[in-house]
């Protein structure tokens, strides 16, 4: 699919953008997914690895049985995850089932802190061009950035740290493990976060809420229409939603355009998002052309 910036409703988009801009940086925070949002969605014709899929990329990490079993679950559950004909409630139930199996199996296979550091070092992620600039720019302007992700949070944080981007303004809401004194994972902490239950994860339940509760203007970024649910329960004033569309199905694209204000097709880099953010902060005006 060609690269295109689809502004679903230019009049609504410009109004929201203007309101956020007038509110200034002190009233803004960013809420973002991580896998295939901050990182690219595709590598050639294949989907790029997610944080969790790096663990099954090579049997040397957790053994051949781990790789075999998790690939079997992927073949069973992933088609459900991407099938637009399946109801949201059914997807939620199946994704929770999948994630619980996966995370409990990780414990059984010996998941530990040393392994996290090793995998992250040996298996780098493909960050979108401009995404690291995006994180640095938010830090420079003291704008909180919250990652809400279904990934193993301990690995996600390690990826951010090893790229020197775990700034004071960055906070991660994700699936976290309880580790023992030897650094071995003993259990996954509740609640489990997956692609389709982000509407049930309330920011007010996390320490970061005190830093953002008065920042009522929000830039939300994701690569799945389920990511829009990240804002659920937050009393925002203005919300601008940007979606990275990494697929080629016109049917799924219609779902995207019904959930996001702006859709970036063709697995784009972060160039547009960076320009948009700078315009919102009156730093570098972006000329928006109305789509005809």
Task: Answer whether residue 91 is part of any domain.
Answer: no
- Catalytic annotation present for 58: no
Candidate list 11, 26, 33, 255, residue with the active-site label: 33
Instruction: Give me the chain's average pLDDT, please.
Output: 91
Q: Which helix (H) or strand (E) holds 159?
A: helix 153-162
Does pLDDT of 39 surpass 60? yes
Residue 249's pLDDT band (boundaries 50, 70, 90)?
low
Range of the domain at 148: 5-41+126-280
Tell me the residue length of the chain.
Answer: 292
Provide DSSP, 84-123: TTS-HHHHHHHHHHHHHHHHHHHHHTT-BHHHHHHHHHHS
- If you average pLDDT over residues 248-252, what whole number do you get? 65
Task: Answer whether residue 80 is part of any domain.
Answer: no
Does pLDDT of 1 surpass 60? yes
∠ Cα 258 241 31 (to 5°):
135
State pLDDT tens for residues 93-143. 999 999 999 999 999 999 999 999 999 999 999 999 999 999 999 999 999
Task: Answer whether residue 288 is part of any domain.
Answer: no
Task: Answer whether residue 286 is part of any domain.
Answer: no
196 contacts 91 by C-beta, under 8 angstroms: yes
Task: Answer whether residue 204 is part of any domain.
Answer: yes
Number of folded domains that form the chain: 1
State pLDDT tens for residues 166-207. 999 999 999 999 999 999 999 999 888 987 888 778 788 889
Domain of 208, CATH number, reads 3.40.50.1000
- Catalytic annotation present for 35: yes
Task: Answer whether residue 116 is part of any domain.
Answer: no
Does pLDDT of 290 surpass 70? no
Candidate list 35, 154, 223, 227, residue with the active-site label: 35
> Which is more confident, 38 or 82?
38
Give the whole-angstrom CA distance, residue 132 versus residue 97: 34
Task: Answer whether residue 63 is part of any domain.
Answer: no
Task: Answer whether residue 195 is part of any domain.
Answer: yes
Residue 20: partners with Cβ closer than 8 Å, 6 or more residues away: 27, 28, 217, 219, 238, 240, 280
Q: State residue 194's pLDDT score.
A: 87
């Amino acid at each position: 699919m060609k690269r295109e910036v689809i502004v679903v409703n230019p009049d609504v988009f410009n109004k929201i953008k203007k309101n956020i801009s007038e509110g200034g940086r002190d009233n803004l925070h960013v809420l973002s997914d991580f896998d295939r949002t901050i990182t690219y969605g595709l590598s050639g014709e294949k989907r790029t690895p997610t944080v969790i899929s790096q663990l099954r990329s090579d049997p040397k990490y957790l053994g051949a049985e781990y790789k075999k079993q998790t690939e079997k679950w992927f073949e069973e559950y992933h088609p459900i995850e991407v099938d637009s004909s399946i109801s949201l409630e059914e997807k939620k139930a199946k994704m929770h089932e999948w994630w619980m199996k996966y995370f409990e199996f990780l414990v059984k296979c010996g998941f530990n802190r040393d392994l996290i550091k090793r995998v992250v070092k040996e298996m780098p992620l493909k960050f979108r061009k401009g995404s690291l600039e995006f994180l640095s720019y938010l830090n420079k302007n003291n704008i909180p950035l919250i990652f809400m992700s279904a990934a193993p949070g301990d690995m996600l944080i390690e990826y951010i740290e090893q790229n020197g981007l775990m700034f004071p303004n960055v906070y991660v809401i994700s699936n976290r493990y309880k580790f023992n004194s030897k650094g071995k994972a003993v259990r996954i902490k509740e609640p489990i976060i997956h692609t389709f239950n982000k509407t049930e994860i309330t920011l007010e339940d996390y320490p970061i809420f005190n830093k953002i509760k008065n920042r009522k203007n929000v830039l939300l970024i994701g690569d799945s229409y389920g990511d829009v649910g990240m804002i659920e329960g937050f009393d925002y004033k203005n919300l601008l939603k940007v979606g990275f569309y990494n697929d080629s199905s016109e049917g799924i694209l219609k779902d995207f355009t019904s959930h996001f204000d702006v859709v970036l097709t063709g697995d784009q880099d972060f160039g547009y998002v960076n320009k948009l953010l700078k315009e919102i902060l009156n730093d570098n005006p972006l000329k928006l052309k109305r789509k005809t």
